[in-house]
Chain A
Amino acid sequence: MCAAAWYHSGVGDSACIPSAASAIPASVSSATVPSRHSALVRVTHWITTLCFLALLVSGAEIVVSHPRFYWGETGNDLTPTLFKLPIPASRALVPTGYGYVLPDQNGWSRYLHFQAAWLLVLTGLLYAISILLNGHLRRNLLPAKDDLSWRSFSTAIASHLRFERPSDAEAWSYNLLQRLSYLFVIFVLFPLVIWTGLAMSPAFVSAVPAAVNVLGGQQSARTLHFFVSLALVLFLLVHVGMVWLAGFRSRMRAMITGRGGTFRARPTMERT
């Protein structure tokens, strides 16, 4: 029954989780233990990780060539800034206050940035279409109706603020805050970072001028791209922090091999 688990959704997948009556003994063979994360989720997760780190490093290198930000259509060394990053630049003309210029890294950074962006967009499309079709989105990411109350919301926030270590059962299902932040990253931040990136492309906006016009101009798009990237970095930090808190080894193993570690009983939070 679980041989086909690789295309199922993994986390909290009811089709693969044995009923509560038949609690599995710890000695059970790994083949019958359900996958905590499906192969699709695991593969797209790590490709996304790799691409995001490549985009982050190359994006930072590109920013270093002009660490000044503006609002509106245009901005350059002669115009007032919205803000400046207090870092040296890789271009001599930029007034940074530092007496030296960093080496130019924009060539490979731009090549790598777009290579990683393509791979990330294609991976993201594969992921988004798959989770729509296989029910992972509906089952494991969209919060249940009765979870969308202030009560469960405040309970979840309170338990997070107390840095409570999640129970074993929670390893099999995303909690409310987790679901909302994943949904926000997948369906708000990633689309936004792609949009604001494309809005900086002179060729793209020649075909789709509205993409940049509604953002308030090309420099606004650049500034927004920077902030959305910062939001994604913030998510990454919190995400890694939560994985650490929940048990780094078991969560990493689950995301790499799919194995859930100590599987004791049917999780109570299962949704059908």
Chain B
Amino acid sequence: MSKLSRRKLITTGLAVAGGALGLGVAARIAQRYGLIPPDHGGIYGLGETLTYASQRLLTRHSLAREFPRSMISKPPFANEIPPPSEAFKRLQAGGFADWRLSVNGMVARPASFSLAQLKSYSSHSQITMLQCEEGWSYIAEWNGVPLSQILQAVEVHPQAQYVVYFSIDPDWWESIDMADALHPQTFLVYGMNGDELPVGSGGPLRLRVPRQLGYKSVKYITHLTVTDSLKGFGKGLGSASPEGGYAWYAGI
């Protein structure tokens, strides 16, 4: 064995050992700082983890772009919605007076809010883009209450890691990490373009997460749960999306 190849062997060995050690340390740090998405398993786990971790580090406090009023899309676009359930139709017939948003989990004071109670908080608005993973997009003005205010009202435990949110449609639930849940542009939306939020756009209540694609902005929200682990929800992948083959994190 020549000198050169022995040196190469040692260097390569050290590089491999260093790489393995580095990966191990990186995984521990990522776990510690909540940079591993719940759907990190499987063949696409590596790419998914890299995307989530890098975007979470890059965007912890960044704000989604807001637009001038003149850029609001006219006419407003609304995607297809599944046919409403009987329960939804009953609530709609009553003008959504009986619509409730229940909040529980790792909170000091579990609560249930009517729309009127949500509207009693000071109303905020944002003119942001809703972008679908398919490729289309529109800009609208969204009126509502920042989710952080509701989380403050129910007093979230400091160990909380995620907020899981549920549509009245039982197949439709999502979750976001606390960076997105407490983000100033994450709204419980009840109004759109100065009017009530139309049913086609998610009325009477929709969660807006403007730094992620449209499928994270779930329509017809009835329930929120604050948790430190997503394992107990569905198949433990974080939301209905990964169960249907879509990524849990939708920042890209």
Chain A interface (Cβ < 8 Å from any Cβ of B):
3-4, 62-63, 65-66, 68, 73-79, 91-93, 106-108, 110-112, 114-119, 198, 200-207, 209, 212, 218-219, 222
Contacts and interface: CB of A to CB of B under 8 A. Distances in A.
Interface range for B: 35 or more
B137 A203 contact: no
Given A115-B48, A206-B64, 14 more contacts: A3-B5, A65-B134, A73-B67, A73-B129, A75-B137, A78-B75, A106-B134, A107-B247, A108-B44, A111-B47, A114-B47, A203-B252, A206-B59, A218-B131
Interface string B166-207: 000000000000000000000000000000000000000000
A206 B137 contact: no
B73 A91 contact: no
Given A3-B2, A114-B252, A204 B244 contact: no
B129 A202 contact: yes
Most buried by B among A111, A202, A219: A202
B58 A207 contact: yes
Interface of B: 2, 4-5, 8, 43-44, 46-48, 50-51, 55, 58-59, 62-65, 67, 71, 73, 75, 77, 79-80, 129, 131-139, 210-213, 244-247, 251-252
Contact of B51 (A4, A62, A68, A118): A118
B79 A204 contact: no
Contacts of A110: 133, 246-247
A74 B62 CA distance: 21
A218 B5 CA distance: 52
19 contacts: A75-B136, A76-B138, A77-B77, A79-B77, A91-B134, A111-B48, A111-B245, A114-B44, A114-B48, A117-B47, A118-B50, A200-B131, A201-B251, A202-B64, A202-B251, A203-B59, A205-B65, A218-B131, A219-B137
A111 B241 CA distance: 12
Contacts of A114: 44, 47-48, 51, 247, 252
B136 A204 contact: no
A206 B252 contact: no
A43 B47 CA distance: 20
A66 B135 CA distance: 6
A210 to B, nearest CB: 11
Contacts of B77: 76-79
B129 A115 contact: no
A3 B211 CA distance: 52
B173 to A, nearest CB: 17
A91 B48 CA distance: 25
Nearest to A4: B4
Contact of B4 (A3, A77, A115, A117): A3
A101 B149 CA distance: 43
Contacts of B139: 73-74
A203 B47 contact: no
Contacts of B65: 205-206, 209, 212
B73 A202 contact: no
A111 B2 CA distance: 46
A78 B67 CA distance: 20
A204 B137 contact: no
Contacts of A115: 43-44, 46-48
A219 B129 CA distance: 11
Contact of A93 (B43, B64, B67, B80): B80
A218 B137 contact: yes
Contact of A201 (B2, B8, B47, B252): B252
Nearest to B58: A207
B59 A207 contact: yes
Contacts of A219: 137
A112 B246 CA distance: 11
Most buried by B among A65, A205, A206: A206
B13 to A, nearest CB: 16
Contacts of A93: 79-80
A3 to B, nearest CB: 6
Nearest to A113: B47
A63 B136 CA distance: 11
A36 B210 CA distance: 51
Contacts of A3: 2, 4-5
Contact of B134 (A66, A112, A119): A66
A107 B5 CA distance: 46
